[in-house]
Amino acid sequence: MPVQSPEAGALPALPHWEQTPEDLPSAIRQVKTALRARIAASGRTVEDIFAVVERRIEAEVSEIEAARERGETIWPVIQYADIAAAAVSDDARALLRRRGCVVVRGHFKREQALAWDQGIVDYVEGNRFFENYRGPGDDFFGSVGSRPEIYPIYWSPAQMQARQSDRMARVQAFLNSQWKHESQGVRWFDPGRDSLYPDRIRRRPPATDSGGLGAHLDPGTLDLWMTRDYQRAFRHLFDGTVEQHDPWDAAHRTAGPQYPGTTMCSAFRTFQGWTALSDMGHDQGVLHTIPIPGAMAYLMLRPLLADVPDDDMCGVTVGQAFPVSRRWHSLLLRALTGLPDIQAGDSVWWHCDMIHSVAPVTNQRGWGNVMYIPAAPWCPRNERYAASVREAFRTGSSPDDFPAEHYERTWPDRFHPSDLNDAGRRGLGLLPASPPGQ
Protein backbone atom coordinates (compact mmCIF):
# COMPACT_ATOMS: atom_id res chain seq x y z
CA MET A 1 0.00 0.00 0.00
CA PRO A 2 1.40 3.42 -0.91
CA VAL A 3 1.81 5.78 2.01
CA GLN A 4 -0.89 8.45 2.16
CA SER A 5 1.25 11.52 2.28
CA PRO A 6 1.28 14.91 0.59
CA GLU A 7 4.95 14.40 -0.25
CA ALA A 8 5.23 13.76 -3.97
CA GLY A 9 7.87 11.06 -3.50
CA ALA A 10 5.52 9.01 -1.35
CA LEU A 11 2.58 9.10 -3.76
CA PRO A 12 1.88 6.14 -6.06
CA ALA A 13 3.97 6.25 -9.22
CA LEU A 14 2.37 6.90 -12.59
CA PRO A 15 2.66 4.54 -15.55
CA HIS A 16 4.36 6.27 -18.45
CA TRP A 17 4.95 5.63 -22.14
CA GLU A 18 8.04 7.23 -23.70
CA GLN A 19 6.73 6.32 -27.16
CA THR A 20 3.18 6.38 -28.46
CA PRO A 21 1.28 3.51 -26.78
CA GLU A 22 0.05 0.83 -29.15
CA ASP A 23 -3.36 0.57 -27.50
CA LEU A 24 -4.40 4.18 -26.93
CA PRO A 25 -7.79 3.56 -25.21
CA SER A 26 -6.14 1.14 -22.79
CA ALA A 27 -3.29 3.58 -22.03
CA ILE A 28 -5.77 6.40 -21.47
CA ARG A 29 -7.76 4.25 -19.04
CA GLN A 30 -4.58 3.25 -17.20
CA VAL A 31 -3.17 6.73 -16.86
CA LYS A 32 -6.49 8.23 -15.79
CA THR A 33 -6.94 5.59 -13.12
CA ALA A 34 -3.40 6.19 -11.90
CA LEU A 35 -3.75 9.99 -11.91
CA ARG A 36 -6.98 9.76 -9.91
CA ALA A 37 -5.34 7.37 -7.44
CA ARG A 38 -2.34 9.65 -7.06
CA ILE A 39 -4.51 12.69 -6.39
CA ALA A 40 -6.63 10.67 -3.93
CA ALA A 41 -3.46 9.53 -2.14
CA SER A 42 -2.56 13.17 -1.57
CA GLY A 43 -5.71 13.45 0.52
CA ARG A 44 -7.71 15.48 -1.99
CA THR A 45 -10.22 14.55 -4.67
CA VAL A 46 -10.08 15.30 -8.38
CA GLU A 47 -13.33 17.25 -7.94
CA ASP A 48 -11.75 19.34 -5.17
CA ILE A 49 -8.64 20.30 -7.12
CA PHE A 50 -10.56 20.87 -10.33
CA ALA A 51 -12.89 23.21 -8.42
CA VAL A 52 -9.85 25.23 -7.27
CA VAL A 53 -8.69 25.60 -10.88
CA GLU A 54 -12.17 26.36 -12.16
CA ARG A 55 -12.68 29.16 -9.61
CA ARG A 56 -9.39 30.77 -10.62
CA ILE A 57 -10.12 30.50 -14.31
CA GLU A 58 -13.68 31.74 -13.84
CA ALA A 59 -12.29 34.87 -12.14
CA GLU A 60 -9.86 35.48 -15.00
CA VAL A 61 -12.50 34.88 -17.65
CA SER A 62 -14.81 37.37 -15.90
CA GLU A 63 -12.00 39.92 -15.70
CA ILE A 64 -11.34 39.59 -19.43
CA GLU A 65 -15.04 39.88 -20.26
CA ALA A 66 -15.31 43.01 -18.10
CA ALA A 67 -12.21 44.57 -19.70
CA ARG A 68 -13.63 43.83 -23.12
CA GLU A 69 -16.93 45.49 -22.09
CA ARG A 70 -14.97 48.59 -21.10
CA GLY A 71 -13.45 48.63 -24.58
CA GLU A 72 -9.93 47.83 -23.38
CA THR A 73 -7.40 46.03 -25.56
CA ILE A 74 -6.94 42.58 -24.06
CA TRP A 75 -3.66 41.75 -25.77
CA PRO A 76 -0.84 43.63 -24.03
CA VAL A 77 1.18 45.85 -26.37
CA ILE A 78 4.89 46.55 -25.76
CA GLN A 79 7.05 48.80 -27.91
CA TYR A 80 10.16 47.20 -29.35
CA ALA A 81 12.10 50.33 -28.40
CA ASP A 82 11.30 49.68 -24.71
CA ILE A 83 12.55 46.10 -24.96
CA ALA A 84 15.74 47.25 -26.69
CA ALA A 85 16.32 49.89 -23.99
CA ALA A 86 15.48 47.44 -21.15
CA ALA A 87 12.78 49.95 -20.19
CA VAL A 88 9.67 47.76 -20.07
CA SER A 89 7.73 48.78 -16.96
CA ASP A 90 6.94 46.34 -14.17
CA ASP A 91 3.24 46.83 -14.90
CA ALA A 92 3.69 45.92 -18.57
CA ARG A 93 5.70 42.87 -17.60
CA ALA A 94 3.05 41.81 -15.08
CA LEU A 95 0.30 42.17 -17.68
CA LEU A 96 2.29 40.11 -20.16
CA ARG A 97 2.63 37.35 -17.60
CA ARG A 98 -1.03 37.53 -16.62
CA ARG A 99 -2.28 37.36 -20.21
CA GLY A 100 0.51 35.17 -21.60
CA CYS A 101 0.55 37.00 -24.91
CA VAL A 102 1.85 40.26 -26.35
CA VAL A 103 2.10 42.38 -29.46
CA VAL A 104 5.58 43.86 -29.95
CA ARG A 105 5.00 47.09 -31.86
CA GLY A 106 7.66 48.19 -34.30
CA HIS A 107 9.69 45.02 -33.81
CA PHE A 108 11.02 45.63 -37.32
CA LYS A 109 10.80 48.78 -39.35
CA ARG A 110 7.78 48.75 -41.60
CA GLU A 111 9.94 49.15 -44.73
CA GLN A 112 12.01 46.15 -43.68
CA ALA A 113 8.91 43.98 -43.22
CA LEU A 114 7.46 45.04 -46.57
CA ALA A 115 10.81 44.41 -48.28
CA TRP A 116 10.91 40.91 -46.77
CA ASP A 117 7.36 40.29 -48.00
CA GLN A 118 8.39 41.33 -51.51
CA GLY A 119 11.54 39.25 -51.19
CA ILE A 120 9.43 36.17 -50.47
CA VAL A 121 7.25 36.86 -53.52
CA ASP A 122 10.35 37.20 -55.72
CA TYR A 123 11.83 34.04 -54.20
CA VAL A 124 8.80 31.81 -54.76
CA GLU A 125 7.86 33.25 -58.17
CA GLY A 126 11.45 33.17 -59.43
CA ASN A 127 11.57 29.49 -58.54
CA ARG A 128 8.18 28.74 -60.15
CA PHE A 129 6.67 27.59 -56.83
CA PHE A 130 3.05 28.08 -57.89
CA GLU A 131 3.52 26.13 -61.14
CA ASN A 132 5.04 23.25 -59.17
CA TYR A 133 2.80 23.36 -56.11
CA ARG A 134 1.45 19.87 -55.44
CA GLY A 135 -1.26 20.74 -52.90
CA PRO A 136 -1.19 20.79 -49.12
CA GLY A 137 1.25 18.35 -47.51
CA ASP A 138 -1.01 18.14 -44.49
CA ASP A 139 -4.60 19.10 -43.77
CA PHE A 140 -3.78 21.43 -40.89
CA PHE A 141 -4.41 24.59 -42.89
CA GLY A 142 -6.69 25.10 -45.86
CA SER A 143 -5.57 26.47 -49.21
CA VAL A 144 -6.87 29.36 -51.24
CA GLY A 145 -7.98 28.18 -54.67
CA SER A 146 -5.05 26.44 -56.30
CA ARG A 147 -2.58 28.62 -54.42
CA PRO A 148 -1.66 27.76 -50.88
CA GLU A 149 -2.34 30.04 -47.94
CA ILE A 150 0.54 28.48 -46.06
CA TYR A 151 3.74 28.30 -48.10
CA PRO A 152 5.89 25.29 -47.11
CA ILE A 153 8.96 27.49 -47.54
CA TYR A 154 11.65 27.58 -44.85
CA TRP A 155 14.92 28.89 -46.23
CA SER A 156 14.24 32.21 -47.95
CA PRO A 157 16.73 35.00 -47.28
CA ALA A 158 13.87 36.97 -45.68
CA GLN A 159 13.07 34.29 -43.11
CA MET A 160 16.69 33.61 -42.23
CA GLN A 161 17.56 37.30 -41.99
CA ALA A 162 14.71 37.78 -39.52
CA ARG A 163 15.61 34.63 -37.54
CA GLN A 164 19.23 35.61 -37.07
CA SER A 165 18.69 39.35 -36.55
CA ASP A 166 19.69 41.22 -33.39
CA ARG A 167 16.17 42.60 -33.08
CA MET A 168 14.74 39.08 -33.03
CA ALA A 169 17.32 37.93 -30.46
CA ARG A 170 16.49 40.84 -28.14
CA VAL A 171 12.77 40.14 -28.16
CA GLN A 172 13.27 36.38 -27.76
CA ALA A 173 15.60 36.93 -24.80
CA PHE A 174 13.06 39.28 -23.20
CA LEU A 175 10.27 36.74 -23.67
CA ASN A 176 12.39 33.81 -22.51
CA SER A 177 13.23 35.72 -19.34
CA GLN A 178 9.54 35.71 -18.35
CA TRP A 179 10.01 31.99 -17.66
CA LYS A 180 11.77 30.39 -14.69
CA HIS A 181 14.64 28.69 -16.47
CA GLU A 182 16.64 27.48 -13.46
CA SER A 183 15.34 25.37 -10.59
CA GLN A 184 16.15 22.20 -8.66
CA GLY A 185 19.81 22.86 -9.46
CA VAL A 186 19.18 22.53 -13.19
CA ARG A 187 19.46 25.16 -15.92
CA TRP A 188 16.53 24.06 -18.08
CA PHE A 189 17.33 26.38 -20.97
CA ASP A 190 19.58 29.26 -22.02
CA PRO A 191 17.36 32.36 -22.28
CA GLY A 192 19.92 34.27 -24.33
CA ARG A 193 20.35 31.81 -27.17
CA ASP A 194 17.67 30.86 -29.67
CA SER A 195 17.65 27.72 -31.81
CA LEU A 196 16.23 29.27 -35.01
CA TYR A 197 13.24 26.93 -35.25
CA PRO A 198 12.36 26.95 -38.97
CA ASP A 199 8.66 27.27 -39.75
CA ARG A 200 6.52 28.33 -42.69
CA ILE A 201 5.04 31.49 -44.17
CA ARG A 202 1.41 32.50 -44.48
CA ARG A 203 0.35 34.80 -47.33
CA ARG A 204 -3.40 35.32 -47.51
CA PRO A 205 -4.40 37.55 -50.44
CA PRO A 206 -7.04 40.27 -50.53
CA ALA A 207 -10.63 39.08 -51.07
CA THR A 208 -9.88 35.70 -49.48
CA ASP A 209 -12.69 33.75 -47.87
CA SER A 210 -11.14 31.60 -45.16
CA GLY A 211 -12.77 29.27 -42.67
CA GLY A 212 -10.06 30.00 -40.11
CA LEU A 213 -8.71 27.45 -37.70
CA GLY A 214 -10.51 26.05 -34.65
CA ALA A 215 -9.35 26.56 -31.06
CA HIS A 216 -6.43 24.27 -30.23
CA LEU A 217 -3.04 24.16 -28.59
CA ASP A 218 0.31 22.92 -29.83
CA PRO A 219 2.67 21.75 -27.06
CA GLY A 220 1.69 18.08 -27.36
CA THR A 221 -1.19 15.63 -27.25
CA LEU A 222 -1.47 12.49 -25.12
CA ASP A 223 2.24 12.78 -24.32
CA LEU A 224 1.33 15.66 -21.99
CA TRP A 225 -0.24 13.10 -19.62
CA MET A 226 1.76 10.01 -20.56
CA THR A 227 5.48 10.77 -20.71
CA ARG A 228 7.59 10.87 -17.58
CA ASP A 229 8.94 14.37 -18.19
CA TYR A 230 5.55 15.96 -18.80
CA GLN A 231 4.13 14.15 -15.76
CA ARG A 232 6.92 15.86 -13.81
CA ALA A 233 6.35 19.20 -15.51
CA PHE A 234 2.69 19.09 -14.48
CA ARG A 235 3.51 17.48 -11.12
CA HIS A 236 1.56 19.99 -9.03
CA LEU A 237 -1.64 19.17 -10.91
CA PHE A 238 -1.28 15.51 -10.07
CA ASP A 239 0.09 15.46 -6.53
CA GLY A 240 -2.46 17.52 -4.59
CA THR A 241 -0.53 20.81 -4.71
CA VAL A 242 -2.44 22.42 -7.57
CA GLU A 243 -2.11 25.87 -5.97
CA GLN A 244 1.64 25.73 -6.68
CA HIS A 245 1.30 25.05 -10.41
CA ASP A 246 3.30 27.71 -12.28
CA PRO A 247 2.75 27.99 -16.06
CA TRP A 248 6.08 29.83 -16.32
CA ASP A 249 8.22 27.08 -14.79
CA ALA A 250 10.27 25.30 -17.47
CA ALA A 251 11.26 22.43 -15.17
CA HIS A 252 11.15 19.05 -16.97
CA ARG A 253 9.89 20.61 -20.19
CA THR A 254 13.11 20.89 -22.17
CA ALA A 255 14.50 17.38 -22.55
CA GLY A 256 11.70 14.84 -22.88
CA PRO A 257 10.25 13.10 -25.93
CA GLN A 258 7.18 13.98 -27.99
CA TYR A 259 4.82 11.58 -29.68
CA PRO A 260 5.27 11.92 -33.47
CA GLY A 261 2.55 13.39 -35.66
CA THR A 262 2.13 15.89 -38.45
CA THR A 263 1.22 18.61 -35.96
CA MET A 264 4.10 17.95 -33.60
CA CYS A 265 6.71 20.48 -32.56
CA SER A 266 9.97 18.84 -31.56
CA ALA A 267 11.24 22.07 -30.09
CA PHE A 268 10.52 23.56 -26.71
CA ARG A 269 9.10 27.01 -27.39
CA THR A 270 8.63 29.52 -24.59
CA PHE A 271 6.36 31.47 -26.92
CA GLN A 272 4.89 30.77 -30.30
CA GLY A 273 5.06 33.77 -32.54
CA TRP A 274 4.94 35.41 -35.90
CA THR A 275 6.17 38.57 -37.51
CA ALA A 276 3.70 40.58 -39.60
CA LEU A 277 4.67 41.27 -43.20
CA SER A 278 1.50 43.22 -43.97
CA ASP A 279 -1.00 45.37 -42.07
CA MET A 280 -3.96 43.39 -40.74
CA GLY A 281 -7.21 44.76 -39.36
CA HIS A 282 -8.45 43.24 -36.08
CA ASP A 283 -11.57 41.96 -37.88
CA GLN A 284 -9.79 40.39 -40.86
CA GLY A 285 -9.52 36.78 -39.75
CA VAL A 286 -6.76 37.31 -37.21
CA LEU A 287 -5.28 35.17 -34.47
CA HIS A 288 -7.26 34.77 -31.24
CA THR A 289 -6.08 33.39 -27.92
CA ILE A 290 -7.58 32.48 -24.59
CA PRO A 291 -5.23 34.83 -22.73
CA ILE A 292 -4.97 32.77 -19.55
CA PRO A 293 -1.73 30.75 -19.18
CA GLY A 294 -3.21 28.89 -16.19
CA ALA A 295 -5.93 27.44 -18.43
CA MET A 296 -3.53 24.54 -19.08
CA ALA A 297 -4.37 23.25 -15.59
CA TYR A 298 -8.03 23.18 -16.57
CA LEU A 299 -7.26 21.33 -19.82
CA MET A 300 -5.08 18.76 -18.08
CA LEU A 301 -7.52 18.01 -15.24
CA ARG A 302 -10.86 18.20 -17.07
CA PRO A 303 -10.60 14.64 -18.54
CA LEU A 304 -10.31 13.21 -15.01
CA LEU A 305 -13.86 14.24 -14.05
CA ALA A 306 -16.51 11.53 -13.95
CA ASP A 307 -18.55 12.78 -16.92
CA VAL A 308 -15.74 12.03 -19.41
CA PRO A 309 -15.64 8.42 -20.71
CA ASP A 310 -12.75 6.41 -19.25
CA ASP A 311 -10.97 6.03 -22.58
CA ASP A 312 -11.38 9.68 -23.63
CA MET A 313 -9.11 12.65 -22.90
CA CYS A 314 -11.75 15.22 -23.96
CA GLY A 315 -11.02 14.43 -27.59
CA VAL A 316 -7.22 14.66 -27.43
CA THR A 317 -5.42 12.00 -29.46
CA VAL A 318 -2.12 11.56 -31.24
CA GLY A 319 -1.54 12.93 -34.74
CA GLN A 320 -4.07 15.76 -34.38
CA ALA A 321 -3.89 19.18 -32.80
CA PHE A 322 -5.12 19.25 -29.17
CA PRO A 323 -8.75 20.41 -29.59
CA VAL A 324 -10.60 22.83 -27.35
CA SER A 325 -14.35 22.36 -27.61
CA ARG A 326 -17.68 23.77 -26.45
CA ARG A 327 -18.51 20.33 -25.09
CA TRP A 328 -15.70 20.23 -22.53
CA HIS A 329 -14.23 23.74 -22.32
CA SER A 330 -17.07 26.23 -22.71
CA LEU A 331 -15.89 28.30 -19.72
CA LEU A 332 -12.52 28.88 -21.39
CA LEU A 333 -13.94 29.76 -24.79
CA ARG A 334 -15.75 32.77 -23.29
CA ALA A 335 -12.34 34.44 -23.04
CA LEU A 336 -11.27 33.88 -26.65
CA THR A 337 -9.95 37.28 -27.78
CA GLY A 338 -8.54 38.53 -31.07
CA LEU A 339 -5.54 40.68 -31.85
CA PRO A 340 -5.80 44.43 -32.13
CA ASP A 341 -4.93 46.01 -35.51
CA ILE A 342 -1.45 44.91 -36.57
CA GLN A 343 1.06 46.79 -38.72
CA ALA A 344 3.75 45.30 -40.92
CA GLY A 345 6.84 44.88 -38.74
CA ASP A 346 4.93 44.15 -35.51
CA SER A 347 5.34 40.72 -34.00
CA VAL A 348 2.81 38.66 -32.06
CA TRP A 349 3.61 36.14 -29.31
CA TRP A 350 1.69 33.68 -27.15
CA HIS A 351 2.76 31.29 -24.37
CA CYS A 352 3.39 27.84 -25.84
CA ASP A 353 0.57 26.21 -23.83
CA MET A 354 -2.02 28.78 -24.73
CA ILE A 355 -5.18 28.00 -26.65
CA HIS A 356 -5.42 29.82 -29.95
CA SER A 357 -7.53 29.96 -33.10
CA VAL A 358 -7.73 31.91 -36.34
CA ALA A 359 -11.04 33.64 -37.00
CA PRO A 360 -12.86 33.07 -40.28
CA VAL A 361 -12.95 35.94 -42.76
CA THR A 362 -15.03 36.75 -45.81
CA ASN A 363 -13.68 38.95 -48.60
CA GLN A 364 -10.58 39.89 -46.60
CA ARG A 365 -9.41 43.49 -46.85
CA GLY A 366 -5.72 43.68 -47.71
CA TRP A 367 -3.14 40.96 -47.29
CA GLY A 368 -2.64 38.73 -44.24
CA ASN A 369 1.06 37.85 -44.37
CA VAL A 370 3.22 36.48 -41.59
CA MET A 371 6.48 34.63 -41.00
CA TYR A 372 6.18 32.11 -38.15
CA ILE A 373 9.17 32.63 -35.86
CA PRO A 374 8.87 31.41 -32.26
CA ALA A 375 11.11 31.82 -29.23
CA ALA A 376 12.80 28.41 -28.95
CA PRO A 377 15.70 28.78 -26.52
CA TRP A 378 18.71 26.48 -26.50
CA CYS A 379 18.02 23.38 -24.37
CA PRO A 380 18.56 19.62 -24.76
CA ARG A 381 15.39 19.17 -26.81
CA ASN A 382 16.21 22.01 -29.16
CA GLU A 383 19.85 20.99 -29.42
CA ARG A 384 18.69 17.53 -30.50
CA TYR A 385 16.34 18.93 -33.11
CA ALA A 386 19.00 21.41 -34.32
CA ALA A 387 21.01 18.50 -35.72
CA SER A 388 18.21 17.69 -38.19
CA VAL A 389 17.60 21.39 -38.83
CA ARG A 390 21.26 21.82 -39.85
CA GLU A 391 20.88 19.02 -42.36
CA ALA A 392 17.61 20.44 -43.73
CA PHE A 393 19.26 23.86 -44.02
CA ARG A 394 22.26 22.43 -45.83
CA THR A 395 20.13 20.62 -48.41
CA GLY A 396 17.19 23.05 -48.61
CA SER A 397 14.83 20.36 -47.31
CA SER A 398 11.63 20.69 -45.32
CA PRO A 399 12.49 20.34 -41.61
CA ASP A 400 11.56 17.06 -39.90
CA ASP A 401 8.56 18.51 -38.03
CA PHE A 402 6.86 19.33 -41.33
CA PRO A 403 5.58 17.39 -44.35
CA ALA A 404 8.43 16.18 -46.58
CA GLU A 405 7.75 18.56 -49.50
CA HIS A 406 11.30 19.79 -50.13
CA TYR A 407 10.44 22.47 -52.69
CA GLU A 408 13.59 24.49 -52.07
CA ARG A 409 16.25 21.81 -52.65
CA THR A 410 16.90 23.01 -56.20
CA TRP A 411 16.33 26.72 -55.60
CA PRO A 412 19.67 28.47 -56.15
CA ASP A 413 18.91 31.68 -54.26
CA ARG A 414 17.93 30.19 -50.94
CA PHE A 415 19.83 31.40 -47.87
CA HIS A 416 23.30 29.85 -47.82
CA PRO A 417 25.67 28.91 -44.99
CA SER A 418 27.99 31.74 -46.01
CA ASP A 419 25.14 34.17 -45.23
CA LEU A 420 24.95 33.12 -41.57
CA ASN A 421 26.07 35.56 -38.90
CA ASP A 422 27.20 34.47 -35.43
CA ALA A 423 23.63 34.40 -34.08
CA GLY A 424 22.60 32.19 -36.99
CA ARG A 425 25.56 29.88 -36.47
CA ARG A 426 24.91 29.67 -32.72
CA GLY A 427 21.22 28.97 -33.34
CA LEU A 428 22.04 26.07 -35.62
CA GLY A 429 24.62 24.72 -33.18
CA LEU A 430 27.52 25.54 -35.49
CA LEU A 431 29.15 27.82 -32.92
CA PRO A 432 29.38 27.26 -29.17
CA ALA A 433 27.45 29.65 -26.93
CA SER A 434 30.63 30.75 -25.18
CA PRO A 435 33.40 31.51 -25.53
CA PRO A 436 32.69 32.94 -28.96
CA GLY A 437 34.82 31.79 -31.86
CA GLN A 438 35.09 28.48 -33.65
Q: Given the rule CB under 5 A, which residues bind Fe ion?
A: 218
Q: What amino acid is encoded at 62 in this protein?
A: S
Query: 194 or 218: whose CB is closer to Fe ion?
Result: 218
Q: Provide the minimum distance between the beta carbon of 277 and Fe ion in the complex, in angstroms, as a whole number.
A: 19
Q: Provide the minimum distance between the beta carbon of 262 and Fe ion in the complex, in angstroms, as a whole number.
A: 12
Range 306-312, long-range pairs (CB < 8 A, 24+ positions): 310/28, 310/29, 310/32, 310/33, 311/24, 311/25, 311/26, 311/28, 311/29, 312/28
Query: 217 or 420: whose CB is closer to Fe ion?
Result: 217
Q: Provide the minimum distance between the beta carbon of 61 and Fe ion in the complex, in angstroms, as a whole number.
A: 21
DSSP state of 304: G
What residue number has its CB nearest to Fe ion? Answer: 218
Contact 216, 324 (CB under 8 A): yes
Q: Provide the minimum distance between the beta carbon of 217 and Fe ion in the complex, in angstroms, as a whole number.
A: 7
Q: Could you tell me how far CA 228 lies from the centroid of its own chain?
A: 21
Query: 161 or 347: whose CB is closer to Fe ion?
Result: 347
DSSP 245-266: --TTB-TTSSS------TT---
Q: Provide the minimum distance between the beta carbon of 213 and Fe ion in the complex, in angstroms, as a whole number.
A: 7
Query: 218 or 401: whose CB is closer to Fe ion?
Result: 218
Range 134-139, long-range pairs (CB < 8 A, 24+ positions): 134/405, 137/398, 137/402, 137/403, 137/404, 137/405, 138/262, 138/263, 138/402, 138/403
Element of type H or E holding 230: helix 228-233
Q: Provide the minimum distance between the beta carbon of 122 and Fe ion in the complex, in angstroms, as a whole number.
A: 28
Query: 190 or 218: whose CB is closer to Fe ion?
Result: 218
Query: 167 or 356: whose CB is closer to Fe ion?
Result: 356
In whole angstroms, what is the distance from residue 154 CA to residue 397 CA?
A: 8
Query: 191 or 273: whose CB is closer to Fe ion?
Result: 273
Kind of pairing, strands 213-217 and 186-187? unpaired
Q: Provide the minimum distance between the beta carbon of 10 and Fe ion in the complex, in angstroms, as a whole number.
A: 38
In whole angstroms, what is the distance from residue 390 CA to residue 392 CA?
A: 5
Contact 201, 160 (CB under 8 A): no
Element of type H or E holding 172: helix 166-176
